């Protein structure tokens, strides 16, 4: 019995969500469209099997085939990112970061991460998050122009002496200088954690520098620019040793510490269907087609940014080097929340977002965040980005006029009809 017969209410909502994705422009930079092969793996019988432990070292029987799946995912991750150790079991990005904290630090140790309101992530030390309650969090921020201030970071690290520095962002439109950041971490004897969740696909495509071999450990989600299922990986160098009762927190022991933090430290059985889907996505990411795709993401982001600048928008840092754009709406007479709602009515999905030194509150900030990964997955290129830039400008001008926004939505649908999404899928 299929889902339509078994549960028509859920079937209807899934089909409505499918229609929303098909007919709109998905521009939240942390979202993407997976392949049908990834969808198939994610809905596979792997979900039926418990497999606590690691390949060849399980607490359950009957794991020979899920062992094979996980080992393939591990091997592909190591090859793709140029590391010698990969853990593909974290349930998502926040648990992956939690595992690194658990592995390398004691509660109340000092951690230095990028402030959420300046482009960072909750797990980088937000006071209400585990990272800011279980650990002594000190937060760095950008300059007023939106760029990281490496000199200020170095001084802050010298003063605070953190045990770990986290670098990575959810709303930073420029590249990271990993070598300079490692020098800061080394200067105070801190571990350097590179959270590459947003840029993993761009690193694979060669359009963003990689922290592999520089950072002590990397975490990444698999569902953003990497275009895989919702999940995460922890990547590092070295080889895990036979677990002992006590493992010293040294850089040489990071692989062992990470594996022990995942299980038995924080998680039980891995999600084997998710692991299978990650493996499929990693195979896709190893192709020349994916590299071309990643390059096009950046080309599209730059084309969209240039068009928005032509329309008088203020962009944080003045543009972008990666997949996302952060718009300061202070010169446009509306807030981020108002812009998000207007664009949604017009069929364009973005998210409200704080900007550096934002005078407004997070639930009604001064900015919006948008990106090009999902648009690029549909096959759109620079010409479409120029048109989308024009439509964003139109929606912002007429943000109070619902009739005009709904008319704009029809034009958006005309474009999306030219780039079909999952044409054979139905629930």
- Give catalytic status of residue 222 as yes or no: no
* Rounded CA separation 409/406 (Å): 5
- Give catalytic status of residue 360 as yes or no: no
Residue whose C-alpha is closest to residue 347's, from 40, 21, 68: 21
3-state secondary structure of 341: helix
What strands, in cross-sheet order, belong to the sheet with 314-315? 314-315, 324-328, 367-371, 351-353
- Give catalytic status of residue 186 as yes or no: no
Catalytic residue among 230, 360, 386, 404: 230
- Give catalytic status of residue 75 as yes or no: no
Cis peptide upstream of residue 264 (ω within 30 degrees of 0): yes
Catalytic residue among 163, 182, 224, 369: 224
Catalytic residue among 49, 50, 149, 283: 50
3-state secondary structure of 138: strand
CA-angle at 77, arms to 377 and 369, nearest 5°: 40
CA of 134: how far to CAs of 110, 287, 300, 359, in Å?
A: 10, 41, 40, 29
* Rounded CA separation 149/106 (Å): 28
* Rounded CA separation 196/185 (Å): 17
Catalytic residue among 52, 149, 160, 390: 52
CB-side exposure of 289: number of CA atoms within 13 Å? 7
- Give catalytic status of residue 224 as yes or no: yes
- Token reading at 381: 């290129």
3-state secondary structure of 320: coil
- Give catalytic status of residue 50 as yes or no: yes
- Token reading at 356: 């550096």
Catalytic residue among 142, 221, 349, 372: 221
Other CB atoms within 10 A of residue 53 CB: 18
CA of 125: how far to CAs of 4, 165, 326, in Å?
A: 43, 10, 22
3-state secondary structure of 166: strand
Catalytic residue among 26, 70, 195, 259: 195
Contact 318, 128 (CB under 8 A): no
Q: Which residues are catalytic?
A: 50, 52, 195, 221, 224, 230
């Amino acid at each position: 019995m299929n889902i339509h017969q078994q549960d028509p209410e859920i079937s209807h909502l899934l089909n409505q969500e499918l229609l929303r994705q098909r007919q709109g422009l998905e521009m939240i930079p942390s979202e993407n469209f997976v392949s049908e092969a990834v969808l198939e793996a994610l809905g596979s019988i792997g979900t039926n099997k418990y497999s606590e432990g690691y390949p060849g070292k399980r607490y359950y029987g009957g794991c020979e085939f899920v062992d094979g799946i996980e080992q393939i995912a591990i091997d592909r991750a190591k090859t793709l990112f140029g590391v010698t150790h990969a853990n593909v079991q974290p349930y998502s990005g926040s648990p992956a970061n939690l595992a690194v904290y658990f592995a390398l630090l004691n509660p109340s140790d000092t951690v230095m991460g990028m402030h959420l309101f300046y482009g960072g992530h909750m797990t980088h030390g937000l006071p209400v998050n585990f990272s800011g309650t279980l650990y002594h969090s000190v937060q760095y921020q950008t300059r007023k122009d939106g760029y990281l201030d490496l000199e200020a970071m170095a001084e802050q690290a010298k003063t605070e002496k953190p045990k770990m520095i986290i670098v990575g962002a959810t709303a930073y439109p420029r590249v990271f200088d990993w070598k300079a950041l490692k020098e800061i971490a080394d200067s105070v004897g801190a571990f350097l954690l590179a959270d590459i969740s947003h840029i993993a696909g761009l690193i694979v495509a060669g359009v963003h520098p990689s922290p592999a071999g520089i950072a002590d450990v990397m975490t990444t989600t698999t569902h953003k620019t990497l275009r895989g299922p919702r999940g995460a990986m922890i990547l590092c160098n070295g080889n895990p040793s036979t677990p002992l009762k006590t493992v010293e927190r040294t850089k040489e022991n990071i692989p062992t510490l990470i594996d022990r933090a995942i299980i038995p430290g924080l998680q039980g059985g891995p999600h084997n269907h998710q692991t299978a889907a990650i493996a499929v996505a990693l195979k896709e990411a190893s192709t020349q087609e994916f590299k071309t795709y990643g390059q096009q993401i950046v080309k599209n982001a730059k084309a969209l940014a240039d068009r928005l600048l032509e329309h008088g928008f203020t962009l944080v840092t003045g543009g972008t080097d990666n997949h996302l754009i952060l718009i300061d709406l202070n010169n446009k007479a509306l807030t981020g929340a108002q812009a998000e709602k207007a664009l949604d009515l017009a069929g364009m999905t973005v998210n409200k977002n704080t900007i550096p030194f934002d005078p407004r509150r997070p639930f009604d900030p001064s900015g919006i965040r948008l990106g090009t990964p999902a648009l690029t997955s549909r096959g759109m290129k620079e010409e479409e980005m120029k048109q989308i830039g024009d439509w964003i400008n139109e929606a912002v001008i007429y943000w109070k006029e619902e009739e005009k926004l709904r008319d704009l939505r029809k034009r958006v649908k005309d474009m999306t009809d030219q780039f079909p999404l999952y044409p054979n899928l139905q629930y």
